[in-house]
Structure 1
Amino acid sequence: MAKAQKKPKTLHYLKADFDDLDGKQSETLESYLRKAYDELPYVDQRKVEFAGKTWFGNWFDEDRKGYFLFQFSAAVLGEDATVIPTDELSVEKMELRTAQAAEGNEFSDGDVICCVVNNDIFVCCSVLRVEAIPAYLLALFTEAQLDEHVASLQINRPANFEKIKVIKESGVHSIRLDAALDSPAFDRLDRVKKKGLLRTMIADLTQRDKKLVEAMRASRGQVKLQISIPKKGDVTQTNWANDVAEEILDGEDGYRIETNDGKIITQKDITISKKERLEPFGKSVFRTEAVNKLVEFKNEILNPQRRW
């Protein structure tokens, strides 16, 4: 049998966000994970049910200094796997078959390996998607009776680290924001805490001239806001533009940022990820290799000045 080729994998960088109940900013996702796994030391205690699957917190490593590692997997208990009878190909038609897992085993529906530093999360998914992470974590924290502390947990994609770096190094020449006034987002302006620059300006305009805004909404008008900064502007202008650009990366939908050296940043560049090729382990990858790549990715993002 030919050796399986390495799997192309995308490592993702995510951020955890939740309300800090004690107001001291003393707890992070990493600290809550350590508490949860201390409270639930055995796999059968970390078995949870949701979305029609059974989820297992099958592995963790709490001994690494400065970060916490864990892996979880999913299965539909008792479900057979569909197989292709490749020994019967000299026919016009062929029926697929099913195979049962060995006794005492279940077929995996995928797994996720995570490296967590404070509220930064570095992820390697096999079959499962990153959207499974918050659901699994909330179920895990419920089992550990920590759910009231992290009930507001959200896992988000942060603004692009490399693009922020470009903004800081090159400076901002212009910022353009586009928005449709009939968008549902503008009907909830007063209820959104982080409105962003354009939404804040629309909210102010609404208060000043409601008839104008309603007329533009009815006509499905488009609002375009462009800010241009002189390349030889003073430090205050430059710093303000850079701050606005970073805020836009994190909170606006339709934007185009041009730097002083001509680089263009758009919404499509919002995801921080890294491509790797890893040895396959069934439909997954070898955990040790994946962990090493995640730690390497972590260092590149959080400690870019260091050489590893």
Structure 2
Amino acid sequence: MATKEKLLEIKNLKQYFNEGKPNMVKAIDGLNFDIFRGETLGLVGESGCGKSTTGRTIIRLYDATDGEVLYEGENVHGKKSKKELLKFNRKMQMIFQDPSASLNPRMTVADCIAEGIDIHGLAKNRKERLARVHELLETVGLNKEHANRYPHEFSGGQRQRIGIARALAVEPDFIIADEPISALDVSIQAQVVNLMKKLQKEKGLTYLFIAHDLSMVKYISDRIGVMYFGKMVELADADELYNNPMHPYTRSLLSAIPQPDPDTERSRKRVTYDPNSHGYGKDELVEMREVRPGHFVLCSEAEYKMYQEKYAVK
């Protein structure tokens, strides 16, 4: 079996806002996980759990309070020259949640997409620049005639395709997709996700896919991490997580997914998560532990033994 290559390593990452003040918010509080080259890691959790902050801290839109983000072994948050930052920004790009807000309404689609091309000097002249824009538009399922239009002339799904084209313009290896389908109609969501899967296969991309729609996350992700109040509570392969959810918060999220069958929907039981139900002691060590191969859960030593007995591989 081939060894997976780590593209990104997150080590004890913390992001505190208003640090040292009475209203301090621990948006990310000690995250540890890896992302392997060529995979899609889904990151899920309720609103306000720190998913988007995680993505923005990884790509340096926020400076980390503590911890490390290692991309190909190099610390993203270390001191860097302008040249080093440009090199890093070309490798890692972001697709934002709101395609309307992420595109400059005063710029044509061609200029929006070509912004990265201009910054990194990837086109020798205007003709090459325009040819590259046309190629990117066609790659994401739009026409080259769209290049001279403005963002407001497009639908939400089309604007998100433009956002994807802009992210692809600098030929990155890693893309953070921050809830890229949440602002879209359900009928358009599958089209955008299928486009992302197609591009990943063609270009060997690696994704961090942030969302709160667990059914869609399962469809696109190889592995899924579940966040709760700034902490990762469970991490496993997508099928493993859905078939054997261990942490009570994960079980509560999965129980909330609507079922297409009315009879099943009426009879199914929803799980309510009570964060106080664990009853951890003051000095009890609570950390991510591997209960099954590749399946990690945030738990105490006592919970770990209980999970092992209940979910042992047979």
- TM-score, L = length of structure 1: 0.27
Q: Which of the two has greater helix per residue?
A: 2
Higher RCO (CA-CA < 8 Å; seq separation 6+) = 1
TM-score by length of 2: 0.26
Q: In proportion to residue count, which structure has more strand? A: 1
